[in-house]
Chains A and B, each alone.
Chain A
Amino acid sequence: MFRSMWCAMAIAMAALPAQAQEADTAKLREELRQLQQRLQQLERRLQETENVAAQASARPAGENAFNPAVSVILQGTAARSSRDPASHQITGFAPSGGEVGPPRRGFSLGESELFMTANIDPYFRGQLVASLTPDNTVEVEEAFFQTLGLGNGFTLKGGRFLSAIGYQNQIHQHAWDFQDAPLAYKAFLGGRLNDDGVQLRWIAPTDLFLELGTELGRGRTFPGTDPNKNGTGAWALFSHVGGDIGGSTAWRAGMSFLRTSPRDRVFDDVDSLGNAVTNSFSGRSDLWIADFIMKWAPGGNPTVNNFKLQGEYFRRKESGDLNFNNVASGDYSSRQSGWYLQGVYQFMPQWRAGYRYDRLSHGSVTNGIGLTAADSPLLLTDYNPTRNTLMLDWSPTEFSRIRLQLASDRSRFGVTDRQVLLQYIHSLGAHGAHTF
């Protein structure tokens, strides 16, 4: 604006009567030039000041400037199943006590998850994940600190956290590709493992991703029994390797081992005559997991199309003593396994379709008491549960998702449970970062 004013003046001056002395004109021109120069300098300084002011105003002020990143996940389902979810069980496998059944029939609220995370100081980072369950309780899913400054690729985590064994265990439920966990997770880990303990991870200084780690825990949840003892009730080892194949594919594969020592792990059963019986297991439980995940997107750009293939194989060996109904005791040993494979394809922006196949193998279960499937049907029926699941989901943005899921669940001997559910997952607040 100023500049145009000066221009106007310059024009006015240039239009001065011709009789004005030439010397005067030259002097005026010189003055004008100097003034223009000063004006330009002023303009530049003004611009700089504005830039600084803009930067300064971006700085947050006040007590809440150090608030952790907070986000909330809202979930809910409308479900229909041909069998009562309350009576759900996986035949041939000792109940894991976790949330293994399908969601309630009709409308129901899922777990609302509250995430809070921030750097504690230059050395530590903290995260809390509280789950507000639909029956009005609060569950601490994760509450841990982790080191930022150990160096040499080491990270130490402590508190309650999702174990790094397997692949899906570390993924929060709202980021799963299906509403529920694979059967193998339900049977062998009660849905997931989030023990109280410590974890030490090391990343190798190589271009190929190589991660080794160990966890020591209390054995708070299945397959452990939350022992009242000093020291550790569970320990785990895990290793993962991963990398890229060309520019379009990324992969990771791993092997994990979990040992727990359950004491008096009790579960109820009904024998073939309809009498309630109780089994109790004490001994050692070893679980091996082989996991693998591959993600493909053309040119590494998943915006339009992408594909994800994921599978895990579980193998469990338990040996120890079985107490039957407080009347008989004897040796017990089992070797059981299970696996799932799932693929999810984004066929156009916002839309994905997926299929999952689950299978558990009853394997060999022997006992020294002479029990048969008639005495303890749940544990001793030689049956291999399977399940087929289809899903279609629509994610208008990365913060919202609506999912339709159909399943044909043969977890129970002789029973096919057909499930249909509609689920919403909404995330509000801070932009979360999802692990690979």
Chain B
Amino acid sequence: MRILLIALSFAISSPALAALNILACEPEWGALAKEIGGDKVTVYTATTALQDPHRIEARPSLIARARSADLMVCTGAELEIGWVPLLQTQSGNPKIQAGQRGYFEAAGVVALLEKPTRLDRSMGDIHAAGNPHIHLDPRNIARISAALSERMANLDRADAGYYEDREKSFLQRWSDATAHWEKQAVPLKGLPLVVYHKNLTYLINWLGMRDVGALEPKPGLPPSTAHLSELLEQLKRDPAKAVVRAAYNEPRAAEWLAERAKIPAVMVPFTVGGTDNAKDLFTLYDDTLTRLLAVAK
């Protein structure tokens, strides 16, 4: 009984209810939902830029957030396969189940790269649907923002006009920014890079850079000395300009290789919050380009 009372008092003391309660699986979708939703939404982001989105646990705090969410915005394409299904089945929330309007998968509205032609676990932790790290191509963000604002308007019809206006304004600023980034990134064309994990593929593809190798011997496996030595040999024949890792990838392997190959190791924020400068989607791209341009000179 007392527990029930405590529960009730918590329920009552919950913050003022916004029109839409959004649970974003990754920071980039949290940021996008805020761009579109403004003050009509409350957004809780399940992960931070310093966490590997593959390795999240369906911990109690996330189940509690999933319980009250009207909309879950996730990447999909099996990126969150280890935890989102549990949030769905354990939350007792019918709105966010797979296939319902309250579950939005960003990967569903863009074309995925690196679709495996063969599916076998001996190839590492590959995703059947293709590479799920889609948010570092601004053209994908534009497509996703259109689909997401439509979904939000659909769930909260009273504020449909509000979401539409904000999305339009965002898209305008976004396409201006994209044009600016593309101009700014001209020196990056053809830049050969070693990545940590295949999580920068869309960025590399967008800016016409070259991915010459990954620190992980196979997707999801930690870098091994044998593989790094092999990579070092390979770099002697086909040199790269930098070793790039996301903020959440551990730095040691990247530094090891960078030091021996005599090229800089670069950390990119990867998503919103990955560095102090990457405060929203715009500054995420700004900061990423600044860091890459510094090594292209």
Closest to A58 in B: B129
Could you say which of B64, B89, B125 contacts A206, with CB atoms under 8 Å apart? B64
Chain A neighbourhood of B129, CB < 8 A: 58
**Is B275 part of the contact surface with A, judged by Cβ < 8 Å?**
no
Cβ distance A253 to chain B, nearest Cβ, rounded Å: 10
Cα A91 to Cα B88 in complex, Å, equals 44
- Whether the Cβ atoms of B48 and A252 lie closer than 8 Å is no
**Is A16 part of the contact surface with B, judged by Cβ < 8 Å?**
no
Cα A155 to Cα B97 in complex, Å, equals 13
Which segment of B79-87, B162-170, B176-184, B264-272 sits at the interface?
Answer: B79-87
Bitwise, A124-141 to B at CB < 8 A (1) or not (0) is 010000000000000000
**Is B262 part of the contact surface with A, judged by Cβ < 8 Å?**
no
**Is A394 part of the contact surface with B, judged by Cβ < 8 Å?**
no
Closest to A243 in B: B61
- Whether the Cβ atoms of A207 and B52 lie closer than 8 Å is no
Are A204 and B222 CB-contacts (below 8 A) given A125-B89, A244-B59?
Answer: no
Cβ distance A307 to chain B, nearest Cβ, rounded Å: 13
Could you say which of A201, A241, A247, A304 contacts B48, with CB atoms under 8 Å apart? A247
Cα A431 to Cα B58 in complex, Å, equals 15
Chain A neighbourhood of B14, CB < 8 A: 205-207
Could you say which of A150, A152, A202, A243 contacts B64, with CB atoms under 8 Å apart? A243
Which segment of A295-303, A336-344, A365-373, A415-423 sits at the interface?
Answer: A295-303
Bitwise, B46-81 to A at CB < 8 A (1) or not (0) is 011011100101111101110110000000001001
Chain B neighbourhood of A303, CB < 8 A: 52, 55, 222, 248, 250
- Whether the Cβ atoms of A152 and B92 lie closer than 8 Å is yes
- Whether the Cβ atoms of B58 and A250 lie closer than 8 Å is no
Which segment of A100-108, A187-195, A208-216, A378-386 sits at the interface?
Answer: A208-216
Chain B neighbourhood of A301, CB < 8 A: 50-52, 55, 248
Closest to B4 in A: A212
- Whether the Cβ atoms of A431 and B64 lie closer than 8 Å is no
Cα A304 to Cα B251 in complex, Å, equals 11
- Whether the Cβ atoms of A434 and B91 lie closer than 8 Å is no
Cβ distance A394 to chain B, nearest Cβ, rounded Å: 12
Cβ distance A316 to chain B, nearest Cβ, rounded Å: 23
- Whether the Cβ atoms of A295 and B94 lie closer than 8 Å is no
Closest to A299 in B: B50
Could you say which of B50, B93, B112 contacts A153, with CB atoms under 8 Å apart? B93
Cα A398 to Cα B204 in complex, Å, equals 28
Closest to B248 in A: A301
**Is A55 part of the contact surface with B, judged by Cβ < 8 Å?**
yes
Chain B neighbourhood of A211, CB < 8 A: 63
Could you say which of A201, A205, A241, A350 contacts B11, with CB atoms under 8 Å apart? A205
Cα A204 to Cα B14 in complex, Å, equals 12
- Whether the Cβ atoms of A154 and B92 lie closer than 8 Å is yes
The interface centre, meaning the residue of A55, A202, A203, A211 with most chain B CB atoms within 10 A of its CB, is A203
**Is A231 part of the contact surface with B, judged by Cβ < 8 Å?**
no
Chain A neighbourhood of B10, CB < 8 A: 204, 206-208, 210
Cα A295 to Cα B124 in complex, Å, equals 26
- Whether the Cβ atoms of B51 and A300 lie closer than 8 Å is yes
- Whether the Cβ atoms of B64 and A203 lie closer than 8 Å is yes
- Whether the Cβ atoms of A54 and B115 lie closer than 8 Å is yes
Closest to A428 in B: B121
Cα A295 to Cα B59 in complex, Å, equals 9
Cα A378 to Cα B170 in complex, Å, equals 74
- Whether the Cβ atoms of A201 and B92 lie closer than 8 Å is yes
Cβ distance B63 to chain A, nearest Cβ, rounded Å: 6
Are A151 and B99 CB-contacts (below 8 A) given A210-B7, A435-B58?
Answer: no
Closest to A300 in B: B51
Cα A244 to Cα B44 in complex, Å, equals 14
Bitwise, A370-407 to B at CB < 8 A (1) or not (0) is 00000000000000000000000000111100000000
Chain A neighbourhood of B86, CB < 8 A: 433-435
- Whether the Cβ atoms of A151 and B93 lie closer than 8 Å is yes
Cα A148 to Cα B59 in complex, Å, equals 19
Cα A55 to Cα B220 in complex, Å, equals 25
Q: Nearest 8 pairs between A and B by C-beta?
A: A242-B60, A209-B60, A206-B10, A209-B64, A149-B94, A250-B59, A153-B92, A349-B222
Given contacts A244-B59, A301-B50, A433-B85, 13 further A-B contacts (CB under 8 A): A207-B64, A210-B6, A242-B61, A247-B50, A250-B60, A251-B60, A295-B59, A301-B51, A302-B55, A397-B124, A431-B81, A434-B82, A435-B86
Would you give 13 A-B contacts (Cβ < 8 Å), ordered by A?
A146-B89, A148-B88, A153-B93, A207-B14, A210-B7, A242-B59, A243-B60, A250-B60, A397-B121, A397-B124, A431-B81, A434-B57, A436-B60
Q: Which residues of B approach A to under 8 Å, CB–CB?
A: 3-4, 6-7, 10-11, 14, 47-48, 50-52, 55, 57-61, 63-65, 67-68, 78, 81-86, 88-94, 97-100, 111-112, 115, 121, 124-125, 129-130, 220-222, 248, 250
